[in-house]
Amino acid sequence: MTAFTPLALPDVVLATPKRHGDARGYFSETYVKPLYAANGIAADFVQDNESLSELAGTVRGLHMQAPPFAQAKLVRVLAGAIFDVAVDVRKGSPTYGQWVGARLTAEGGEQLYVPHGFAHGFCTLAPATRVAYKVDAVYDKASERGIIWDDPDLAIDWTFGHGDRILSDKDRLLPRLKDFDSPFVYQA
Ligand SMILES: Cc1cn([C@H]2C[C@H](O)[C@@H](COP(=O)(O)OP(=O)(O)O[C@H]3O[C@@H](C)C(=O)[C@@H](O)[C@H]3O)O2)c(=O)[nH]c1=O
């Protein structure tokens, strides 16, 4: 059975599927719609994504898509490890601007659920890290939004040393939260 752990920000969930080990290796159910829906992960996933980051210390994020292409994400690691982060960017939310992070590893099979209204990003903790995630809306370039990964107002503890990070040119130019007009509004 998968273990579901609510994290410090409401609606962000850590899921850890059981692995049935035997002499060959293991078998694991990595997503079961009714089970996940009953445990706070009720998204209707429509696209699967995968990325490879060659170097440890690669940061991707903080990303989101604006409505009507807002994406909830279920993130896991196929090789290597990441520190995965979700930031609440829902205007009027009691936890607006707060972040939560979890270490996701290929070894442990942990998954992070990032709901609508949260920016998402990760830092790789090992070389050749492959990340896979399900999303509940298709990619729409015009809807892409982002916040700079090292915004001092967010003060995310990325956990991976203090050296230089590898980022895309696009991600280097993202705005700070204070200059970001969030397309999301909190609904209690
Ligand atoms: C996200 C995405 C990108 N692309 C293309 C656009 C571009 O040419 C290339 C690389 O895109 P990016 O630089 O945006 O890739 P990346 O920086 O890995 O973007 C991802 O970051 C993580 C943190 C997320 O949360 C994802 O939703 C996504 O935003 O892939 C697609 O074709 N479909 C997609 O769904």
Q: Which CATH architecture has domain 3-179?
A: Sandwich (2.60)
Q: Full-prediction pTM beyond 0.90?
A: yes
- Residue spans per domain, the chain: 3-179
Separation of alpha carbons 12 and 84, rounded Å: 11
pLDDT on residue 41: 97
Q: Report the separation in Å between the CA atom of 84 and the middle of ligand 1, taken as the mean of its atom positions.
A: 15
101 lines ligand 1 (CB under 6 A): no
The answer for residues whose C-beta is within 8 angstroms of residue 186's C-beta and 6 or more apart is 90, 91, 92, 93, 94, 96, 117
134 lines ligand 1 (CB under 6 A): no
Q: Report the separation in Å between the CA atom of 139 and the middle of ligand 1, taken as the mean of its atom positions.
A: 8
User: Does ipTM surpass 0.85 in this model?
Assistant: yes
pLDDT per residue of the chain (188 residues) written in tens, 0 to 9? 899 999 999 899 999 999 999 999 999 999 999 999 999 999 999 999 999 999 999 999 999 999 999 999 999 999 999 999 999 999 999 999 999 999 999 999 999 999 999 999 999 999 999 999 999 999 999 999 999 999 999 999 998 766 789 999 999 999 999 999 999 999 98
The answer for residues whose C-beta is within 8 angstroms of residue 93's C-beta and 6 or more apart is 117, 186
Atom 3, ligand 1: which residue's CA is nearest?
A: 139
Atom 6, ligand 1: which residue's CA is nearest?
A: 141
**Spatial CA neighbour of 135 closest among 69, 47, 62:** 47
